[in-house]
Amino acid sequence: MVVEDSEVVPFGSTMLGSVVEGCCWWWQNGRVTTAAVVLLAFGAVSVKRYVARKNRRKRWAAVEKDVVVVHGLGKGRRTPNLSPFVLTLETYLRLAKIPYQMDYEEPFGPKGQSPWITLNGQEMGDSQLIIQMLGRHFGKDFTASLTKEQKGAARAFNMMVTEHLAWGFRLWRWVENKGRLMLQEMDRVPFIVRLLMPLKRRQISKSLYLQGIGRHSAEEVHDIIERDLAAISFYLGDKPFLMGSDLCEVDCALFGSLAQIMWNYSGSPYETMVKVKYPNLKEYVLRVKERLWPDWDQCLKRPKMS
Ligand X SMILES: N[C@@H](CCC(=O)N[C@@H](CS)C(=O)NCC(=O)O)C(=O)O
Which residues in this chain contact ligand X in the complex, by CB under 6 A?
83, 85, 112-115, 126-128, 162
Query: Which CB, 80 or 115, lies closer to ligand X?
Result: 115
CA 263 to chain centroid? 16
CB of 76 to ligand X, least distance (A): 12
CB of 27 to ligand X, least distance (A): 40
Query: Which CB, 93 or 233, lies closer to ligand X?
Result: 93
By CB atoms closer than 10 A (0-12, 13-18, 19+), residue 154 is: buried
- Between CA 134 and CA 128 the distance in angstroms is 10
Question: How many helices (DSSP H) and strands (DSSP E) are in the chain?
Answer: 13, 4
CB of 16 to ligand X, least distance (A): 45
List CB contacts of 285: < 8 A, sequence separation 6 or more: 255, 258, 259, 262, 274
What distance separates the 2 farthest-apart alpha carbons in the chain?
105
Query: Cβ distance 125 to 110 under 8 Å?
Result: yes
CB of 86 to ligand X, least distance (A): 7
Check residue 304 and give left, alpha or beta (phi > 0: left; psi -120 to 50: alpha). beta
CB of 97 to ligand X, least distance (A): 21
- Between CA 286 and CA 280 the distance in angstroms is 10
By CB atoms closer than 10 A (0-12, 13-18, 19+), residue 300 is: middle
CB of 71 to ligand X, least distance (A): 11
Beta bridge partners of 241: 244
Query: Which CB, 85 or 104, lies closer to ligand X?
Result: 85
Query: Cβ distance 201 to 175 under 8 Å?
Result: yes
Backbone angles phi, psi at 164, to 5 degrees: -130, -60
Query: Which CB, 48 or 200, lies closer to ligand X?
Result: 200
CB of 89 to ligand X, least distance (A): 8
Query: Which CB, 87 or 285, lies closer to ligand X?
Result: 87
Query: Which CB, 115 or 303, lies closer to ligand X?
Result: 115
Query: Which CB, 114 or 233, lies closer to ligand X?
Result: 114
